[in-house]
Structure 1
Amino acid sequence: MLSLLMKAQTPVNYTISFENAVHHEAQITAVFPNTTNDSLHIRMSRSSPGRYALHEFAKNVYGVSAVNDEGDTLKIIRNNPYEWIIANPKGATTVYYTLFGNRGDGTYSQIDESHAHLNMPATFMYATQMLESPVKITFDVRKDLNWKVATQLKKENDNTYSAPNFQYFFDSPTEISDYKIRSFTVNSNGKDYTIEFVLHDTASDELLDQYFEKVKRIVLAEKDVFGELPDYDYGKYTFLACYVENASGDGMEHRNSTILTDSEGLENGGMKNNIGTVSHEYFHSWNVERLRPKSLEPFDFSRANMSGCLWFAEGFTSYYTNLILCRAGVITPEEYAKSINGTFNYVWNSPARNYFNPIEMSYQAPFVDAATSVDPVNRENTFISYYSYGSVLGLALDLSLRQNGLNLDDYMKKLWQEQGKKENPYTIDDLHFTLSLYAGKPFADNFFNKYIYKSEMPDYATLFESVGFDYSQDEEKIYTGFNTNSNNEITRNVKKGSPAYKAGLDAGDIILAIDAKKLNNDNTVEKVLADKKVGDVITVTYSRFGVEKETKLTLTSDPTYTISLNEKAKRRVEKHREAWLKQ
């Protein structure tokens, strides 16, 4: 359990101000207390809690200087891009620097005259010797812009807040703006907790009230899954929603808060399109924040953090995302069934399962989780998102358990009681063992041996039938294996084993004609293939690097599955479905 008592040592003190917000700058002062070391190593983080790829935050820091207690300028040595070394510090060391920030999401910071949206690792330097030190920070807010502070940090007075250490501080994003706020109280185990929703948006009070009603239903539906709320520090959980035009779509979980960002405001589509992120991120306050992979503890700010458990931490959370919306009445059972299609087809029609199981897909996170690269990659054939993979496995596990009179909710409760509530980080073996205790060793061994340690596909036909979902493929619908843009160019790597792959087509090829029929605005690929059937062999004329080529392509049946709600399911099956979707 995280101790919230400030240690007896002197805290690291920060002050941040925003005089030049119009140009996306913040001025930061950091005071590092006395050190017995002969040098003080100050760094910017290279990673951020909840993100698994490297993010070089030092690139947005400049104008760095340092002085001692007596005001003497101290020499700064640079041995690497993300560290500043101050030799022979005497007494407290004060560091001044400027931060540029103009990306509003769950990782970076954004500063302008509408808000200061701060993710702490992207904003504040730290001393490697003082990661266990307490922290105090004063936000010098723009009173002329009516700014207010919203954060999970402990309020000391006015705009000064504190954290017990840097693990907590860097996990505490802060929104400073002229925001609106709504809150309600939830009782759990005899204790009242405040759930507050902070909104930076131009939405009317009426729209915010409507949205907040959905948020409340989601909170209560997720509480039902685990049977109780987490014991939130300081008795409060805060949603930090920033739905403004210059924000980037994102969501990021934290211990007692979550960041929600999107360019769509509530009156511009956000009322419907943003609510799924609310469901997903709030579920994380149990699953990943407290029910936490051992491989992510403690979080290391100096490197990429890798875990083989993301299929569970992120994937099972993704499974519950839309299920909770259905249980909370935000979407209908019909909409829920429809929502499964995209993820299901993405996972089970991917050739990537031939290369990696869900654990190994999780290991790929440092390369894909908001990571950037300039060299082309072959993700279409080698990677399945652990969010999606884990989501359809969570679905399979839930429906399989329900065939045996059990359910995933109670398995999650058991994990919560054994690991999460005690904040005892888990391993994959713990997940396997707990499922054995809950559902029996043969059941658990079958699930983990087939679907986690290997990449086999569960019997979804039987599972969907048990809850009255139709599940089928159109064997007469043709499939080429390539997709083109308006210029008839193949825009993505073709999937291994598809007709296009076998025909030797590749990304960047421009389809010129099919069976000697030239393609144009009136003669599209779809029109040319309209009378073709499965098994037909077509001649594809295409251009590659300006050279005209020709190949034969054999049409196969479309591998896409269609999942929908069966309105005519038997009453017994309907009741089974209702027990699942209206738990």
Structure 2
Amino acid sequence: MKWTLSLRLWPLWTPLVAEPLRYTIAWETPPRYTYQVRLQCRPNAGRYTVVALPAWRPGRYILQNYAGAVSHFAAYDEAGRPLPWRKITKDSWQIENPRQGLLQVEYRFYARQLDAGSSYLSPELVYFNPINLLMYVVGRLEEPCELELPSLPEGWAVATALPRKGPRKFVATDYHHLVDSPFLIAPFLRSDRLDCEGVTLHVHFWGRVGVRNLQPFLQDLCRLFQVQKRIWGHVPLKEYHFLYLLVPFSMRHAVEHAYSAMFVLPEEGAADETALRSFLGISAHELFHLWNVKRLRPAALWPYRYDREVYTSLHWFTEGVTDYYTSLSLLRAGLMEPSEYWQRLSAELTQIENTPAYALFSPAELSIDSWLAPSSYRPALYQGSFYAAGKRVGFLLDMSLRRETQGRVTLDSLLRYLYRRYYLRGKGLPEAALEQAAVRLGGPALKDFFERYVWGREAPDYEALLAGLPLRVEVTQKPYSGWGRVGILRYRAESEGLRIEEIAPGSAAEKSGLETGDLLLTVGGRPAKDLTPAFWDSLAEGAQLQLSWTRDGFPLEATIPLRSAWQKHIWIEPIEDDFLKSY
């Protein structure tokens, strides 16, 4: 049966040329949280045309299976006559081609997830990432596309980097371009812009914004852009959009795009000009992606394939090195004090050194394993991040290049070399190319660096790696305080006790038999959830601890002596002002 709802939503179709692929997204309430989508195109050659919805999106390397939100799928010929079809995989549909004319596909998409890579619909906000919503014609990702929004109310504000062709129509060079362009649509958006180094920077805010003047924030973004432009030596665009969706709860999520970045952030961060500066770090990270991963990206992602996992060992580079340059961009732009920069870097390195996963998996392995992140079989002990692993590698690689070349080559130099050799020549970055380029620019010692710290799992010897550089390096052992004394590093309070999320290897907690996922009930007969860090700090070394907990509903207990858990502590800071000037 033909989808009767479409009779109220869609305008009468006029004859269209075969190109481009024409998409329409419409909405109304009710049904709540539901987009109505239509695709019109010429059929593929042969008997069938297959359409599919992406299973994942660039920037989030797990299967998200957007097809789970699809209902009311139907297909028609140009005259509106139903066409036979079958669903052939979880996210693809095979349609029998019409005898003549164009093919039309219609379906609904339920949109009630709110993060920087999702889609959401309410009476006050139309927000969508096209990669969630729009099916592609298999084999035709490179064809030009148009998107029409017939439900767009007159006078509503629209924020997107996608070029506009009319009041409700937008155009894209191909499917990749189309789905890489998020939309914020509302009765009112707080927007402003600034010309910066020949590029127009746009900011768009939805939600409560207490800031009266956005220009100082734009000027800070311009400083970041100038710093990053100098790193890469090339600007591939004329306009860039920052889209900020503000929410009344704690959330920090962002997704990079080729011509924009999408953020979901707490509205308290936009309460005034001072608070708004808290958005600069996450903005610097996504801005750096303008070059790293959106242009210079692994060959495995060139071009994108949306129907399956796509494996690369380079996520530590695309995300972790980007994270390294996040704080470094703030430092170089004068938006972070040097003392704060080195304190943060030292704290992050300390945390990595005391997290077991980074001794179990190399940065390359963590990159491949991104697709395992949602697995219920992956224990907390294995939960490492290629962001953190890559940030450590990025810093040490930068320092190693400087040491081996007496400062002539830096990580900046390596990025520019790769960008010119691969992106500007229209090619993706091969898996081995990064190491090869580092060895070419920095010498044979860099091959050993990659074997140990990128492909291998070796713990860095900071004093040896940073020897000869004007840096003070201290590697010490310090006892944990609070809950860390017993070895409980992370926990989550629940009604009956504390759910253990991370335990220090070799600690009293581990020796007692306590494991991540256990529910700690009592310590010395006292409810665990009532104990403060001060309780643990007050205990004498060797004090007897009686612990009780449950695991999968079964009661367990143990009595052990308290032996304080120790952590490796990293402290790094420059000892010469000239180093800061060149850094």
TM-score clears 0.5 = yes
**SS state at 1:285 partner:** coil
| Distance of aligned partners of 1:35 and 1:296 in 2 relative to their CA distance in 1, 3 Å threshold | closer
Partner of 1:382: 382
Among 443, 446, 451, the alignment partner of 2:445 is: 443
The 5 A counterparts of 1:82-93 are 82-90=91-99, 91-93=101-103
5+ unaligned residues in a row in structure 2: which ranges? 1-16
The 5 A counterparts of 1:1-80 are 10-20=19-29, 23-80=32-89
Partner of 1:4: none
Cα offset, 1:317, TM superposition = 0.3
The 5 A counterparts of 1:333-412 are 333-368=338-373, 372=374, 375=376, 377-379=378-380, 381-403=381-403, 404-405=406-407, 406-412=409-415
Q: Distance in 2 between matches of 1:439 and 1:476?
A: 38
| Distance of aligned partners of 1:476 and 1:130 in 2 relative to their CA distance in 1, 3 Å threshold | closer
Decide whether the 8 Å contact of 2:312 with 2:367 is kept in 1: yes
Cα offset, 1:243, TM superposition = 2.1
Higher mean C-alpha deviation, range 8-17 or range 64-73? 8-17
Q: Is it true that 1:100 corresponds to 2:103 in the alignment?
A: no
The 5 A counterparts of 1:163-312 are 163-177=172-186, 178-187=188-197, 192-204=198-210, 206-229=212-235, 231-232=236-237, 235-245=238-248, 249-268=252-271, 271-312=276-317
Partner of 2:420: 417
Q: Is it true that 1:314 corresponds to 2:319 in the alignment?
A: yes
What residue identity is the alignment partner of 1:169?
L
Higher mean C-alpha deviation, range 267-276 or range 195-204? 267-276
Cα offset, 1:553, TM superposition = 4.7
Partner of 2:142: 132
The 5 A counterparts of 1:510-521 are 510=520, 512-514=522-524, 518=526
**SS state at 2:267 partner:** coil
Q: Tell me how many residue pairs correspond in the alignment.
A: 550
What residue identity is the alignment partner of 2:153?
K
What residue identity is the alignment partner of 1:451?
Y
**SS state at 1:156 partner:** coil
Higher mean C-alpha deviation, range 213-222 or range 68-77? 68-77
**SS state at 1:549 partner:** strand
What residue identity is the alignment partner of 2:189?
Y
| Distance of aligned partners of 1:74 and 1:546 in 2 relative to their CA distance in 1, 3 Å threshold | closer
Q: Is it true that 1:160 corresponds to 2:169 in the alignment?
A: yes
Decide whether the 8 Å contact of 2:57 with 2:306 is kept in 1: yes
Q: Distance in 2 between matches of 1:322 and 1:555?
A: 37
CA deviation vs aligned residue, 1:141-198 (integer Å, no higher than 9, x gap): 5326x323332323223331212221222222222233232223344xxxx3322222
**SS state at 1:154 partner:** coil
CA deviation vs aligned residue, 1:499-551 (integer Å, no higher than 9, x gap): 4223311232425235xx74578765642552434xx3743332334635223
Cα offset, 1:386, TM superposition = 0.4
**SS state at 1:438 partner:** helix
Decide whether the 8 Å contact of 2:18 with 2:41 is kept in 1: no
What residue identity is the alignment partner of 1:33?
R
CA deviation vs aligned residue, 1:1-42 (integer Å, no higher than 9, x gap): xxxxxxx96111112222228822222222122433212222
Partner of 2:4: none
| Distance of aligned partners of 1:430 and 1:564 in 2 relative to their CA distance in 1, 3 Å threshold | closer
CA deviation vs aligned residue, 1:412-443 (integer Å, no higher than 9, x gap): 22222222333321123211111122111x22
**SS state at 2:73 partner:** strand
**SS state at 1:10 partner:** coil
Q: Distance in 2 between matches of 1:248 and 1:21?
A: 28
Decide whether the 8 Å contact of 1:140 with 1:159 is kept in 2: yes
Decide whether the 8 Å contact of 2:112 with 2:119 is kept in 1: yes
Q: Distance in 2 between matches of 1:112 and 1:521?
A: 39
Cα offset, 1:256, TM superposition = 1.7
What residue identity is the alignment partner of 1:395?
F
Q: Taking structure 2 as the reference length, what is the TM-score of the superposition? A: 0.86
What residue identity is the alignment partner of 1:378?
P
Partner of 2:454: 452
How much is the aligned-residue C-alpha RMSD, in angstroms? 2.8
Q: Distance in 1 between matches of 2:28 and 2:555?
A: 57
5+ unaligned residues in a row in structure 1: which ranges? 1-7
Q: Distance in 2 between matches of 1:555 and 1:577?
A: 41
Partner of 2:9: none
Decide whether the 8 Å contact of 1:9 with 1:134 is kept in 2: no
**SS state at 2:518 partner:** coil
| Distance of aligned partners of 1:213 and 1:553 in 2 relative to their CA distance in 1, 3 Å threshold | farther
Q: Is it true that 1:109 corresponds to 2:119 in the alignment?
A: yes
Q: Distance in 2 between matches of 1:550 and 1:127?
A: 61
Q: Distance in 2 between matches of 1:30 and 1:525?
A: 58
Decide whether the 8 Å contact of 2:498 with 2:529 is kept in 1: no
Q: Distance in 1 between matches of 2:354 and 2:128?
A: 40
Q: Distance in 2 between matches of 1:236 and 1:298?
A: 23
| Distance of aligned partners of 1:476 and 1:11 in 2 relative to their CA distance in 1, 3 Å threshold | closer
Q: Taking structure 1 as the reference length, what is the TM-score of the superposition? A: 0.86
Cα offset, 1:226, TM superposition = 1.5
| Distance of aligned partners of 1:111 and 1:476 in 2 relative to their CA distance in 1, 3 Å threshold | closer
Decide whether the 8 Å contact of 2:365 with 2:455 is kept in 1: no
**SS state at 1:350 partner:** coil
Q: Distance in 2 between matches of 1:275 and 1:427?
A: 32
| Distance of aligned partners of 1:23 and 1:265 in 2 relative to their CA distance in 1, 3 Å threshold | farther
Q: Distance in 2 between matches of 1:476 and 1:150?
A: 51
Higher mean C-alpha deviation, range 173-182 or range 252-261? 173-182
Partner of 1:550: 558
| Distance of aligned partners of 1:133 and 1:523 in 2 relative to their CA distance in 1, 3 Å threshold | closer
Q: Distance in 1 between matches of 2:328 and 2:467?
A: 15
Q: Distance in 2 between matches of 1:454 and 1:562?
A: 21
Q: What percent of counterpart residues are identical?
A: 23
Q: Distance in 1 between matches of 2:358 and 2:209?
A: 44
